Structure 1
Amino acid sequence: MSNKPKRTAHIISHTHWDREWYLPYEKHHVRLIRLMDVLMDTLENDTEYKSFYLDGQTIILEDYLQVRPEQKERLEKYIREGRIFIGPWYILQDAFLTSGEANIRNMQIGHKDARRYGQISKVGYFPDTFGIVGQAPQLMRQSGIDNALFGRGVKPTGFNNTVADSEYESSFSELIWEGPDGSKVLGILFANWYSNGNEIPADPEEAKAFWDRKLADAEKYASTPELLFMNGCDHQPIQTDLAEALETARKLYPDTEFVHSNFPQYLESVKGHQENELSVVRGELRSQRTDGWGTLVNTASARVYLKQMNQQGQALLEKVAEPLAAYAHLTGQAYPHHLFTYAWKTLMQNHPHDSICGCSVDEVHREMVTRFAKSRDVAESIIEDSKRAVADAVDTSSFAQYGEDALPFVVFNTTGWERTGTVSVELDVQRIYFRDGIPLDEISRRIQTLELGERVVLDPSGKPVPFTLEDLGQRFGYDLPDDRFRQPYMARAVRITLQADAVPAHGLRAYALVSGQAAAQHSDNASASLITGNNVMENSILRVAAQPNGTLTVTDKRNGREYRDLLVYEDTGDIGNEYMYKQPEGEAPLTTRDVQASIRVVEDTPYRATLEIVHDWEVPASADELLQKEQIEVVYYPERKAQRVKETVPMKIRTLVRLEKDGKGVKVEASFNNQAKDHRVRALFPTDIEASRHRVDSMFEIVTRDNQPAIEWQNPSNAQHQQAFVDVSGETAGLAVANLGLNEYEVLRDGRNTIAVTLLRSVGELGDWGWFPTPEAQCLGEHAVQLEIIPHDGRGEESGAYAEAYQFQIPWTSVQTGIHTGELSAVHAPFVWSGEGVAFSAWTVNEDSGDHMLRWYNMKQQPASLRLEWPQSVSRAYKTTILEETEGASVEQLSESLELEAGPCEIVTIGIER
């Protein structure tokens, strides 16, 4: 008699709902309304239709109820009864192109929205995510989730989501997934995709053929007799005859138990079996042991303008608006939770993989641009209110001694480290309000004839600060008071640029623009220069020399290391699509190595020097006619034979290279008007450092990756994802290249370990399962990109190089204020922290408790000490999770300071109860 356990077929009904993709959002939206109506009718009329999983994202509820608000009570009933499973996310986001804090807000808001309905599905759901970051197990564990279900990253997925056999990283479809901190979750790989139980036949003959194949496919990979069948797919309608289909299956296979199941039930069944030892998969899931053609990695460079908007939107929300609002909260201003939720939701609506990845039809991405602007407008409104509230609390009375026309202003550093750098501030020297009754022509005359005279910028100690002043002339403005009608005015405005020194982390420093005697005393302070030779800039750390071809030679004075040939531009053809890059066969890249550049000094001040480098270049206009034929015929992109045309178009690149007085890096801004199609542009940075591996910024982690891909890799390109930077380091030297919204890089196997950063990729089709033209993905028109070259001693965490790269992501904030007393000193920070190799991530206020929440993560694989000093009155401090739960949190009394150990790669959240 066989002891083989009876197998169970778990059928889980679901739909994977891409809000927008090959159809615009509203066309998918209409189909969603129809689906939800049918779902609730089915649940009401068919008691054998047990439950439905709503794709792990609560935004579906918002989308449905926006059109069908009268269905809310009915929907809530089925959720509370456990027949519709919702959460844990707000949206199903892309993992590599969204920030760590965006993912935390996604989980927090998803839980908050699901909690309103009384139930949160604790399922780590990543059905179609284009690879998953290594810290996902820790994020799951900190969210009370002990599992992760995913379709990509461990095995190959081919054309139209077909599954291919190869040597697997996991022995089974069940595995243990371990993060860099040691967190482990039960991983469930959709080895036969998340549609392997789709459209189950009710007809016996059809059902026999269906289940013979499907049961064998599932058993091929399963480690237990608990077999998973996902009854649904992308935008899949409800199978209304499922009960009949399952009854047919039970009659055909009496040795199999067919259950209309759900994820909690299925996961518990899997956990009850320990027959086979599961493989442990560690770290990132990036499909490295594949041929490299189906990884979808080049979505990191599709429509780069979207990635740039996303970087700006995320940075403004999490690194400027949130900490400034928390700062203002300490001065008594209400923290605008409702506005943050709205701004984050609006931003996150751009974070699904088909959206932020840039792999949808043009209509989708046009709407994304509007959403980015809407979220950014809310963030900027919060910033404006918060910075003024804090500035009003700063004691600027020391500037009164310089006369009534002294113009104080406050510079904020919202990064997690002390900061020195160049800041530009706009000030109104004089305002005349329309309410004063002066005729408009007289107002204009007074504003325009105002003498600016000799002026100087002073710091809080009265020390002069080198600066430049640009007269912006007359401008119109208005106030929007809380208690009165709008107040228009005319102003005489100036822009001053200066170096702000040692502004404390999450703190501020006040300055003033003054005239009169103080200005006369210090009128000759701005005489130093960073220009030390012909096209050479130099500070105490770095020497930067521009060569005739526009490349840079950067010398790190601290160790004498010289980096040559930096900033070559490369252009190649691209006959791929929004998902994947494909260079035409036999094509040699075009570069600016042999292009003579025009170079001149455009800025020479004591605090910053700037070189302008101009390349007058030409590149092929497009691919040839064969490409469109291959696209229409849906020829698989690795097999395409198209080439580029001989005709060329101008590709003029204007590059500004900046070195600041105390700068640790060389800042680069390049702009160009793209008139070519079907191509890719990259910037190349040879490191000449011997290393077989490199390090790259990812979500809450500095990941180490191999320069050489796995042996299964066939794609000539080995491009990968990055967030803030990529770094090639040796024992005594390293070169990091930071970026703003340039998420694709490659470390070339060229003998020089060159870092290649993608600046633009132009393609004309969506790709994937059909022919979807996307002419706007050619990205014609004006573009501007920003990078920073950061040499260091090989220890990126300890040397401050990575902190510099993170600070590069975050803009300075400033505001004009008046002369007044205040509770905050002119140089002030509400708290101080220290921890070598630890990165600061967030400062927010919890909506339920009102406690201040501070988050860090350990960049290293070794434990790190973290010290926090909070000089204000504090009741207690406690360590909590990313969900900021107080129940069960470890509590420490904070007598002005707190010390704790951050484990390897640990994400640490501390709550401060005041």
Structure 2
Amino acid sequence: MSMNKKAYIVPHTHWDREWYFSTEESQVLLVFTMQQILEQLESDDGLPCFVLDGQSVMLEDYLSVVPEDTERVKALVESGKLLVGPWYTQTDQCVVHGESQIRNLMWGCRDAERFGAIMKVGYVPDSFGQSEQLPQLLQHFNIDKCVFWRGIWEGICSNTEFVWRAPDGSEVTTAVLEFGYSAFQGMKPMDTHLDGIDQKIAERFWPGEREHFLFMGGHDQKPWQRETVEAIKYANESRPYQYQLCTFEDYFTQTTNDSLPVVESEMLYGKYSRIHRGIYSTRYDIKKLNSDVENLMVNQLEPLLTVANELGLKYPYGLMEKNWKQLMQSHAHDSIGGCNTDSVNRQVKARIQAVRENAERLQAITLKQLADASTKGKEGEYVLVFNPLPYSRNAQIELDLVLPTRNLAIHDGGQIVEMQSISCKQVDINAIVQDPTTLGDERFRSWYRHRVWVSLEGLPACGYRNLRVERLADGDITTNACLPQTTEETSISIVNEAMKVDVDKYGRVSLSCLDSGQHWDDVITLIDGGDDGDNYDFSEPHDDLKISYEVLEDAISVSEGRLRSEVRISYQAMLPADLTERAAKQCSVTQRIDVILGLAKGSRGLEISVELDNQANDHRVQLHINGDFARAQSVADQPIGLIKRGDDASALSVWQAQEWTSCPVPIFPMQSVVAGETTKGGLAVMTDGIREYQQYDDSIAITLFRAMGFVGKPDLKYRPGRLSGLPDASPDSQLRQPLSFRLILCPFSGSAFDAGLCQQVKEWLSTPLTLHNGVVQRFMIAPPVFTAPEAFSLVALGTPEVAVSAIKVCEDDANSIVIRLMNAGKGEAKLGQLPSGWKAWQVDGMERVMGDATTDTTIPAQGIIGLRLSKESL
């Protein structure tokens, strides 16, 4: 018997709440599984622990239907036998917003604490890739150990144990699940399981000699086998290796030492385990909906509720916990990845939509309460404008007004606001007002819905002010006088103070930056290609047909206005209907795409809207940004800060010879921005809900969407061998529906890391909120019991040098607010002047005080910091 090799086996089950089965189905299985696990932990002293897949939602799902087991669960958690957390759900790290990942850890840790203890290991057994910033996220919650499976190869590290260091310097001791999470796959005889472990130790994947091996004793939705403890005892007497049922802490205690290598990298490589980079663009409709809700919750609603709480409207803790948890239930790798059956994807989408409806109504009612409270006793009609960012800003925003006149003026203090009409349409007031009788005789007048652009200056920092609406008679100055002028021309230019955009008769777009002199010809190109992949992975057909979109005749028009100008271009291409036609080089489908280029007064970005009604199957549409960039390099945002990437040439050169599970195609995730650098500066692309780009030698391509028809397929060009998932058809994934996309191109000078890209994209996505406090309200609510000033600013941080990640009320103290800041620069940043009137502390991810915050407190490069502000001493 060889004593120098030992298998450390951690008892667990891997629990997908949904996949090819629904959450309702898995809950039934969970009840039976949990009851068995609880009984065995209570009765078998030889079973040291059981890991609930690192996610507290399993207990929430179980105890919601078996509440009588609450005290049993608490006793086992407190004793260290049932290991819970640190996550709420096993979140994806690539397409889910960084702030959502922080909340996932926060709620997972809070829930685990309620039961007695947090498993202080960042356990991610099945995430399709690991962020470079995971060590920092974990250390933000005082977690210094990590265990993961997918994404690493020897080009990153030759060891399965190492110190993983994030760009800010945060470190976690890390172990790789060399053999995945399935040491006990299926309900097989124990000798079969142990034979498999012996074989893996003898024929291990990783190079180099080792004595200690980590195995996860379980599998997908698998119960614990009662005979395991006795079988392990017997194996230690009869087999060639040693075996120990243990906790993660036991393994780290025995195997780690001071000589571990240090690794600084993201983990997106599929040598030993498939990484599924294609999920970044699978089911764009679900990705976009989720992004919209994340932006709503983080960038608008939480700051609004924080201001309202300060003025006297009680913070809705219960609603916000419900919304966050329901949203995070859709953030698991399969769920948000879209690699489920169609029926499950519909449930994922419906769940996110439910959060959206709840959050939107909470936002609307809060705005109404603030609007009423801040205009009590005032004559006239008002629009409340709320700025969610903690610094004063100028903004061009769209207002939606319903008035019994065709003409209006907006007053901001003593000034008439500069305005540009978008549309003015007559409406039936009886169809849009809950109780038209409250209007008296005015309900019989002609009513109009106005959409207008207004330009506002000096909006209060994290606050609001009210604009007065004046109804004008038909003979007075009208908004219609400000309508943009539309013309159709063969060659078009639009220009503002910073940029000039030219479009020639072929639909080619050129962009000039007027102050830096940077210029890009033919800056955007739409390319259609085939997709022979599945819900997990894009895979180019073996003999693909690439098609460029060309401009339609007389399909370029310009609309020029005092606040913004737009160019509309209609492109068209003949596409193959499906893979069969593409292989035969046949094209039977006419596909039109409309592109709207917008240039606002004072803006330093070119807005791009893309609209289409998808008419084809099995294809992918990319918008290439042709920027004369440094060859095959890009800078993109990640859950915290920025990351620089190349074209993965070294991995691409060996993947076939080394028989990787999948090709490391340079397809990458982003949060909301990717940039290419030039000799003078560069060009950034900011996106609203698009999460994928591909690196080419001469361009960066934004994947607008991809359409495919199966959950899993075998023998793909970029993923040879077995299928992933199931061979089920998924026609919903073909996205045969209208689709729209929103981007903005922003030139910059110098390095992308010093261009403030994260701050810019935060501001672009943090649209000011508005409420016309007029006749159109979806629900009647009681008037506010508090009074608010006509204008108000909660907290001001001055000119931003770092990005604001979150502004919210503290979870454990309604009198304190939490502000999380992110430094995406290459050097550390000082907080500088702190908000006046507030006492500031530095806090961790649980919002617990770590020490005072001062003007000299620093945020490391590519780092985050949490601040807790209070007007009272803690």
What TM-score do you get using the length of structure 2 for normalisation? 0.88
Aligned residue among 197, 215, 228 for 1:229: 215
Task: Work out whether 1:878 is the aligned partner of 2:841.
Answer: yes
The match for 2:778 is none
* Shift in alpha-carbon separation, 1:868–1:832, aligned structure 2, 3 A: farther
Query: Is residue 597–residue 615 contact of structure 1 (8 Å, CA) maintained in 2?
Result: no
Aligned residue among 593, 617, 621 for 1:653: 593
Which whole-Å deviations, capped at 9, do the CAs of 1:153-181 have from their partners, x for residues lacking one?
A: 213xxxxxxxxxxx452222111100000
Which whole-Å deviations, capped at 9, do the CAs of 1:830-856 have from their partners, x for residues lacking one?
A: 222246641111001112122100111
Q: How many residues align?
A: 835
The correspondence of residues 375-394 of structure 1 with structure 2, limited to 5 A, is 375-394=355-374
Task: Work out whether 1:843 is the aligned partner of 2:783.
Answer: no
**Could you tell me how far apart the structure 1 residues matched to 2:22 and 2:131 are?**
28
* Shift in alpha-carbon separation, 1:780–1:488, aligned structure 2, 3 A: farther
Task: Work out whether 1:99 is the aligned partner of 2:97.
Answer: yes
* Shift in alpha-carbon separation, 1:836–1:65, aligned structure 2, 3 A: closer
The match for 1:856 is 821
Q: How much does 1:336 deviate?
A: 0.9
The match for 1:501 is 456
Query: Is residue 198–residue 232 contact of structure 1 (8 Å, CA) maintained in 2?
Result: yes
Which whole-Å deviations, capped at 9, do the CAs of 1:205-261 have from their partners, x for residues lacking one?
A: x577445323335696688644322111222232221012212211114x8543221
The correspondence of residues 387-466 of structure 1 with structure 2, limited to 5 A, is 387-394=367-374, 404=379, 406-415=380-389, 418-429=392-403, 450=404, 452=405, 454-466=407-419
* Shift in alpha-carbon separation, 1:707–1:453, aligned structure 2, 3 A: same
Q: How much does 1:454 deviate?
A: 4.4
The match for 1:543 is 500
Q: In the alignment, residue 196 of structure 1 is paired with which amino acid? A: A
Which whole-Å deviations, capped at 9, do the CAs of 1:532-577 have from their partners, x for residues lacking one?
A: 9852211111111222232311111112222121332111111111
**Could you tell me how far apart the structure 1 residues matched to 2:209 and 2:463 are?**
54
Which whole-Å deviations, capped at 9, do the CAs of 1:634-672 have from their partners, x for residues lacking one?
A: xxxxxxxx9366242121112222111112111111111
Aligned residue among 32, 47, 50 for 2:48: 50
The correspondence of residues 265-284 of structure 1 with structure 2, limited to 5 A, is 265-271=250-256, 273-274=257-258, 277-284=259-266
Query: Is residue 679–residue 762 contact of structure 1 (8 Å, CA) maintained in 2?
Result: yes
What TM-score do you get using the length of structure 1 for normalisation? 0.85
Query: Is residue 388–residue 768 contact of structure 2 (8 Å, CA) maintained in 1?
Result: yes
Query: Is residue 191–residue 221 contact of structure 1 (8 Å, CA) maintained in 2?
Result: no
Q: How much does 1:523 deviate?
A: 7.9
Q: In the alignment, residue 279 of structure 1 is paired with which amino acid? A: P
Task: Work out whether 1:86 is the aligned partner of 2:84.
Answer: yes
Q: How much does 1:90 deviate?
A: 0.5
Which whole-Å deviations, capped at 9, do the CAs of 1:455-498 have from their partners, x for residues lacking one?
A: 32222232342232624423344579xxxx99999693532412
* Shift in alpha-carbon separation, 1:791–1:826, aligned structure 2, 3 A: farther
* Shift in alpha-carbon separation, 1:605–1:264, aligned structure 2, 3 A: same
**Could you tell me how far apart the structure 1 residues matched to 2:356 and 2:374 are?**
27
Identity percentage over the alignment? 26
Query: Is residue 670–residue 692 contact of structure 2 (8 Å, CA) maintained in 1?
Result: yes
Which whole-Å deviations, capped at 9, do the CAs of 1:275-317 have from their partners, x for residues lacking one?
A: xx322210322228x59x9431111011111110011010001
* Shift in alpha-carbon separation, 1:488–1:323, aligned structure 2, 3 A: farther
The match for 1:746 is 694
**Could you tell me how far apart the structure 1 residues matched to 2:441 and 2:284 are?**
39
The correspondence of residues 71-82 of structure 1 with structure 2, limited to 5 A, is 71-82=69-80
Q: Secondary structure at the match of 1:815?
A: strand
Aligned residue among 147, 154, 161 for 1:174: 161
Q: How much does 1:126 deviate?
A: 1.0
Q: Secondary structure at the match of 2:128?
A: coil
Q: Secondary structure at the match of 1:366?
A: helix
The match for 1:36 is 34
**Could you tell me how far apart the structure 2 residues matched to 1:249 and 1:340 are?**
51
The match for 1:865 is 830
Which whole-Å deviations, capped at 9, do the CAs of 1:398-453 have from their partners, x for residues lacking one?
A: xx7xxx5x422122222455544432222343xxxxxxxxxxxxxxxxxxxx5x26
The match for 1:890 is 851
The match for 1:694 is 634
Query: Is residue 409–residue 469 contact of structure 2 (8 Å, CA) maintained in 1?
Result: yes
Q: In the alignment, residue 802 of structure 2 is paired with which amino acid? A: V
The match for 2:244 is 259
* Shift in alpha-carbon separation, 1:200–1:413, aligned structure 2, 3 A: same
The correspondence of residues 195-210 of structure 1 with structure 2, limited to 5 A, is 195-196=182-183, 198=185, 209-210=195-196
Q: In the alignment, residue 224 of structure 2 is paired with which amino acid? A: I
The match for 2:748 is 792
Q: Secondary structure at the match of 1:101?
A: helix
Q: How much does 1:330 deviate?
A: 1.4
Q: In the alignment, residue 248 of structure 1 is paired with which amino acid? A: Y
Query: Is residue 530–residue 606 contact of structure 1 (8 Å, CA) maintained in 2?
Result: no
Aligned residue among 318, 335, 356 for 1:338: 318
Task: Work out whether 1:246 is the aligned partner of 2:232.
Answer: yes
Q: Secondary structure at the match of 1:599?
A: strand
Query: Is residue 831–residue 870 contact of structure 1 (8 Å, CA) maintained in 2?
Result: yes
Between stretches 308-317 and 825-834, larger displacement belongs to 825-834
The correspondence of residues 635-646 of structure 1 with structure 2, limited to 5 A, is 643=583, 646=586
Q: Secondary structure at the match of 1:773?
A: coil
Query: Is residue 688–residue 765 contact of structure 2 (8 Å, CA) maintained in 1?
Result: yes
Q: Secondary structure at the match of 1:128?
A: coil
Q: In the alignment, residue 378 of structure 1 is paired with which amino acid? A: N
Query: Is residue 664–residue 804 contact of structure 1 (8 Å, CA) maintained in 2?
Result: no
Q: In the alignment, residue 419 of structure 2 is paired with which amino acid? A: P
* Shift in alpha-carbon separation, 1:78–1:51, aligned structure 2, 3 A: same
Q: In the alignment, residue 227 of structure 2 is paired with which amino acid? A: D
The correspondence of residues 689-768 of structure 1 with structure 2, limited to 5 A, is 689-691=629-631, 693-707=633-647, 709-713=649-653, 715=663, 717-749=665-697, 752=698, 754-767=699-712, 768=724
Query: Is residue 681–residue 752 contact of structure 2 (8 Å, CA) maintained in 1?
Result: no
**Could you tell me how far apart the structure 2 residues matched to 1:344 and 1:28 are?**
21
Q: In the alignment, residue 382 of structure 2 is paired with which amino acid? A: P
Q: Secondary structure at the match of 2:182?
A: coil
Q: Secondary structure at the match of 1:833?
A: coil
Q: In the alignment, residue 501 of structure 1 is paired with which amino acid? A: L
The match for 1:586 is 543
Between stretches 337-346 and 42-51, larger displacement belongs to 42-51
Unaligned 5+ residue runs, structure 2?
656-662, 713-723, 776-782
**Could you tell me how far apart the structure 2 residues matched to 1:766 and 1:69 are?**
36
**Could you tell me how far apart the structure 1 residues matched to 2:690 and 2:745 are?**
14
Q: How much does 1:601 deviate?
A: 3.5
The match for 1:667 is 607
Task: Work out whether 1:576 is the aligned partner of 2:533.
Answer: yes
Task: Work out whether 1:14 is the aligned partner of 2:12.
Answer: yes
**Could you tell me how far apart the structure 2 residues matched to 1:778 and 1:528 are?**
38
**Could you tell me how far apart the structure 2 residues matched to 1:340 and 1:678 are?**
39
**Could you tell me how far apart the structure 2 residues matched to 1:690 and 1:257 are?**
53
Q: Secondary structure at the match of 1:96?
A: coil
* Shift in alpha-carbon separation, 1:208–1:766, aligned structure 2, 3 A: closer
The match for 2:427 is 473
The match for 2:720 is none
Query: Is residue 836–residue 864 contact of structure 1 (8 Å, CA) maintained in 2?
Result: no
Alignment RMSD, CA only? 3.3
The match for 1:831 is 795
**Could you tell me how far apart the structure 2 residues matched to 1:219 and 1:702 are?**
32
Between stretches 854-863 and 563-572, larger displacement belongs to 563-572
Query: Is residue 835–residue 866 contact of structure 1 (8 Å, CA) maintained in 2?
Result: no
**Could you tell me how far apart the structure 2 residues matched to 1:456 and 1:864 are?**
44
Query: Is residue 634–residue 676 contact of structure 2 (8 Å, CA) maintained in 1?
Result: yes
* Shift in alpha-carbon separation, 1:696–1:500, aligned structure 2, 3 A: same
Q: How much does 1:37 deviate?
A: 2.3
**Could you tell me how far apart the structure 2 residues matched to 1:653 and 1:202 are?**
58
Query: Is residue 56–residue 85 contact of structure 2 (8 Å, CA) maintained in 1?
Result: yes
Q: In the alignment, residue 499 of structure 1 is paired with which amino acid? A: V
